[in-house]
Amino acid sequence: MFPGTSTMNQLQKIIAVTGRPKPDDVEAIQSAFAASMLDSIPDEKEFKTLNEMFPKAKSDAIDLLKKLLQFNPDKRMDADEALKHPYVSLFHSAKDEPICTHPIKLYFNDNKKYSINEYREKLYSEIRKNKKRRHKGTEEGQPEQTSAQTTTQTSTPSTTATTTSSSSSKTKTK
């Protein structure tokens, strides 16, 4: 949706559609690095609405995107809400959507810039570690954990943020 030539360019493209986040929305992200990046983005002169980006999209699709494209994680629609949204309601099956009963924590330094490949490798490495732990637990008679919900914890010297996501794609930072 927002391919950019750099992180800054991508943020500019997002802000051209969503508008600049309010100070309390930036604060809710709890990342000094993200706040610094957002502060350094020049004011956008050309705005584009989601309707202009997707002129053939149904109103339900535009509504879902607006609710998912919130900078403030506390205002962003979560996975359970998204699955119940009219646009994707045909795909919702409460009995076929496992929920993880505990958070899965991944630790990344939020103030360090990773390349796409570095971030991907760190993420896959953490997933592999968690799978090994989960597999080891089931071998020892502990119940297997589902992977429908994950929590990503980013740690910085000054902040710790937790991101939760279900099988569809929720990101909430606290």
The whole-chain average pLDDT of the chain stands at: 77
As a whole number, mean pLDDT of residues 97-113 equals: 72
Based on the fold, state whether residues 47 and 110 are members of the same structural domain. no
As a whole number, mean pLDDT of residues 68-81 equals: 90
Q: What angle do CA 37, 6, 171 make, to 5 degrees?
A: 65
Q: Is it the case that residue 157 has pLDDT exceeding 50? A: no
The contacts of residue 97 (CB under 8 Å, 6+ apart) are 83, 148, 166, 167
pLDDT band at 140 (very low <50, low <70, confident <90, very high): low
Q: Would residue 91 count as lying in a domain?
A: no
Q: What angle do CA 27, 34, 63 make, to 5 degrees?
A: 75
The structure's pTM equals 0.61
Inter-residue contact 48 to 17 (CB < 8 Å): yes
Based on the fold, state whether residues 156 and 117 are members of the same structural domain. yes
Based on the fold, state whether residues 103 and 162 are members of the same structural domain. yes
User: Which residues form the domain of 141?
Assistant: 98-173
Q: Is it the case that residue 51 has pLDDT exceeding 50? A: yes
Q: Is it the case that residue 159 has pLDDT exceeding 60? A: no
Q: Which residue has the higher pLDDT, 162 or 64?
A: 64
Q: Classify strands 150-155 and 107-108 as parallel, antiparallel or unpaired.
A: parallel
Q: Would residue 114 count as lying in a domain?
A: yes
Q: Would residue 133 count as lying in a domain?
A: yes
pLDDT band at 15 (very low <50, low <70, confident <90, very high): very high
Q: Is it the case that residue 118 has pLDDT exceeding 70? A: yes
Based on the fold, state whether residues 115 and 167 are members of the same structural domain. yes
How many distinct structural domains can be found in the chain? 2
Q: Is it the case that residue 165 has pLDDT exceeding 60? A: no
Q: Would residue 93 count as lying in a domain?
A: no
Q: Would residue 57 count as lying in a domain?
A: yes
